[in-house]
């Protein structure tokens, strides 16, 4: 699948639920209304849609959410997608907050998952609870070490927040080095109402990288995972650090991704509203050929790029939907 700007679309992110057991301050409001079950695709519907994407050239699928591992039948989806590895699908991965990883790490590995991204914004237990509103750091750490023990490669994702965790990146980089994890820092994106002013939270990663270079040797590397992170090797630890910089450096020119939500809406861009309703197509009795036609038609409308801006006058987010809808 090639989009109108010549970009091959090979990567599908699937948000399998809008629900979550945490309420990270940059992601959700504390009081969220979640979708009724009838609106959510079954795992069979999701698998069928993913299979159509794979037939059309998608070779990488990332399962995300909300918190994907709180969905009850999520392992059935991992198993059915895992069976497609080597048959068009090259990689199946997951982004998780880690709270359920102690329970599922072995099963994920058995289903064919080899790499997991775990969100951990701080190593300070009190700050972790403040940032996630409801979380206990021990649970996420147990999950991270269970993933390591199961032989999964772990990348720690941390959202960079001004005045909140910005004093911790050195210690997090050292901790990741010690345990064999990569670290990826992410700029906050203005998605959805969150009970706070996002202009107060935003910390440009260009500044962070400059500060890190005072302590660490960041060597250029061609390492790529198919996502938007730009990586460096940390000479002192041998691990990598990645930077996801949608605000300071727009990565749209090399975008290879589209995003499917748990209701079957396909978003062609994380930062735009262009979408296609696949639940309607599926539930109208579409054949596999109909699904493929609908996917091609959607890709033909992929926009050139996002234009994230926080309106400085109204201080409203660029998009009304939360990150938990599309899963990042
Ligand atoms: N619940 C899982 C987790 O936390 O990893 C998966 C879904 S979460 C929406 C995916 C990623 O998006 C996480 O790394 C999270 O930190 C990040 N994220 C959420 N809201 C964000 C925002 N407004 N800006 C930047 N990253 C955000
Ligand atoms: Fe939940 Fe992930 Fe959003 Fe945190 S970032 S509230 S863990 S979906």
Return the structure tokens found at 102.
């102690």
CA of 240 to the centre of ligand 2 (A): 23
Q: Which residue has the least CA distance to atom 1 on ligand 1?
A: 67
Q: Which residue has the least CA distance to atom 12 on ligand 1?
A: 328
What are the residues whose beta carbons fall under 8 Å from the beta carbon of 305, sequence distance 6 or more?
A: 250, 252, 253, 255, 269, 271
DSSP state of 33: P
Predicted pLDDT of residue 80: 98
Residue range 142-185, pLDDT digits in tens:
999 999 999 999 999 999 999 999 999 999 999 999 999 999 99
CB of 65 shorter than 6 A to ligand 2: yes
CA of 192 to the centre of ligand 2 (A): 13
Return the structure tokens found at 24.
């990270």
CA of 323 to the centre of ligand 1 (A): 6
pLDDT at residue 226 greater than cutoff 90: no
Q: Which residue has the least CA distance to atom 15 on ligand 1?
A: 119
CA of 293 to the centre of ligand 1 (A): 31
CA of 250 to the centre of ligand 1 (A): 18
CB of 17 shorter than 6 A to ligand 2: no
Average pLDDT, the chain: 92
Predicted pLDDT of residue 316: 58
Q: Which residue has the least CA distance to atom 8 on ligand 2?
A: 66
Q: List phi, psi (to 5°) of 70.
A: -90, -10
The DSSP string of 162-200 is TTTTTT-HHHHHHHHHHHT-EEEEEE---BS--SS-GGG
E strands, the chain, in order: 11-15, 60-64, 91-96, 115-119, 153-160, 182-187, 218-220, 230-234, 240-244, 257-260, 265-267, 275-277
Question: From CA 9, how far away is CA 47, in angstroms rounded?
Answer: 18
CA of 214 to the centre of ligand 2 (A): 31
- The reported pTM is 0.94
Predicted pLDDT of residue 311: 53
Predicted pLDDT of residue 117: 98
- Domains of the chain by range and CATH? 11-155+253-326 (3.20.20.70)
pLDDT at residue 199 greater than cutoff 80: no
Which of the listed residues 119, 130, 143 should we mutate to test ligand 2's pocket, taking the one with most ligand atoms within 8 A of CB?
Answer: 119
Which of the listed residues 13, 118, 186 should we mutate to test ligand 1's pocket, taking the one with most ligand atoms within 8 A of CB?
Answer: 186
Name the closest ligand to CA 144.
1
Ligand 2 atom index nearest CA of 20? 1
DSSP state of 198: G
Predicted pLDDT of residue 313: 54
Residue range 38-88, pLDDT digits in tens:
999 999 999 999 999 999 999 999 999 999 999 999 999 999 999 999 999
Residue range 293-326, pLDDT digits in tens:
999 999 999 988 876 655 555 555 567 777 777 7
CB of 69 shorter than 6 A to ligand 2: no
Q: Which of 97, 37, 50 is nearest to 69 (CA)?
A: 97
Question: CB of 18 within 8 A of CB of 34?
Answer: yes
pLDDT at residue 218 greater than cutoff 70: yes
Which of the listed residues 100, 119, 260, 270 should we mutate to test ligand 1's pocket, taking the one with most ligand atoms within 8 A of CB?
Answer: 119
CA of 148 to the centre of ligand 1 (A): 21
């Amino acid at each position: 699948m090639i989009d109108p700007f010549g970009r091959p679309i090979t990567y599908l992110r699937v948000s399998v639920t809008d629900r979550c057991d945490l309420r990270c301050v940059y992601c959700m409001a504390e009081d969220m209304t979640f979708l009724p079950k009838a609106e959510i695709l079954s795992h069979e519907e999701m698998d069928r849609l993913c299979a159509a994407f794979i037939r059309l050239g998608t070779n990488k699928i990332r399962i995300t959410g909300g918190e994907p591992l709180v969905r009850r039948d999520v392992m059935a989806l991992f198993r059915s997608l895992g069976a497609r590895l080597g048959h068009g699908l090259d990689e199946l991965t997951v982004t998780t907050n880690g709270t359920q990883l102690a329970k599922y790490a072995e099963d994920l590995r058995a289903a064919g998952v080899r790499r997991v991204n775990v969100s951990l914004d701080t190593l300070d237990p009190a700050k972790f609870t403040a940032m996630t509103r409801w979380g206990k750091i021990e649970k996420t750490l147990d999950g991270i070490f269970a993933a390591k023990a199961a032989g999964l490669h772990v990348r720690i994702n941390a959202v960079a927040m001004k005045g909140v965790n910005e004093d911790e990146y050195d210690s997090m980089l050292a901790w990741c080095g010690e345990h064999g994890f990569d670290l990826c820092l992410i700029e906050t994106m203005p998605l959805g109402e969150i009970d706070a002013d996002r202009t107060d939270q935003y910390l440009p990663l260009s500044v962070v990288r400059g500060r890190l270079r005072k302590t660490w040797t960041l060597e250029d590397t061609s390492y790529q995972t198919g996502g938007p992170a730009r990586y460096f090797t940390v000479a002192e630890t041998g691990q990598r650090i990645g930077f996801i910089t949608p605000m300071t450096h727009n990565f749209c020119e090399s975008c290879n991704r589209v995003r499917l939500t748990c209701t079957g809406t396909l978003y062609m861009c994380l930062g735009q509203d262009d979408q296609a309703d696949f639940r309607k197509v599926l539930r109208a009795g579409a054949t596999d050929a109909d699904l493929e036609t609908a996917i091609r038609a959607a890709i033909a409308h992929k926009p050139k790029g996002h234009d994230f801006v926080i309106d400085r006058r109204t201080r409203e987010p660029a998009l009304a939907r939360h990150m938990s809808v599309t899963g990042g």
